[in-house]
Amino acid sequence: MSEALPGESVEDKSLGELVALASRDVSALVRAEIDLAKLELKADAKKAAYGSVMFTIAALIGGLIVILLSIALAYGLVAVGLSHWLSFLVVAGIYLLLAAGLIGFGYLRMRKIEGAKRTRRTLKDDFAALRHRGDSDTPALTD
């Protein structure tokens, strides 16, 4: 392929050469944009990984805090006058009620999942249009 040299005029090039130069330049530009996107995504992925590690450590610490506060609550109930076994049973019962409430809430939210109804409908319509294409004199895609 010929290139436009610094001293050479673009008017001296044929149409085919100009199209070849333009397509090469567009191709190089697209490759450069893809390389830039890869670099940016790699940097973002590193930041996301670091952030997720921090969230995981915070969740672990939060779990330990919940355990310690649960023990403190149970011993607080002992200080009020309940026996040890009853105090820890009350704390366990509180967590049982909390878990049951969360399971119920999650179940209600899961029942609301529609399963991409619109996407299924449009895909079904698209396949139907493709199947009937050319089978009759009517156009395949109509408004």
Co-location of 73 and 88 in the same domain? no
Task: Please say if the pLDDT value at position 5 is more than 60.
Answer: no
Co-location of 77 and 28 in the same domain? yes
- 42 vs 4, residue with greater confidence: 42
Over the chain, what HEC string results? CCCCCCCCCHHHCCHHHHHHHHHHHHHHHHHHHHHHHHHHHHHHHHHHHHHHHHHHHHHHHHHHHHHHHHHHHHHHHHHHCCCHHHHHHHHHHHHHHHHHHHHHHHHHHHHCCCCCHHHHHHHHHHHHHHHCCCCCCCCCCCC
Task: Please say if the pLDDT value at position 101 is more than 80.
Answer: yes
Q: For the segment 75-93, what is each residue's pLDDT rounded down to a tens digit? A: 999 999 999 999 999 999 9
Is 2 part of a structural domain of the chain?
A: no
Co-location of 23 and 74 in the same domain? yes
Strongest mean pLDDT among 1-15, 31-45, 55-69: 55-69
Average predicted confidence (pLDDT) for the chain: 86
Range of the domain at 27: 15-81
Q: How many domains does the chain have?
A: 2
Is 8 part of a structural domain of the chain?
A: no
Overall average pLDDT of the 105-117 stretch:
87
Co-location of 130 and 96 in the same domain? yes
Co-location of 120 and 103 in the same domain? yes
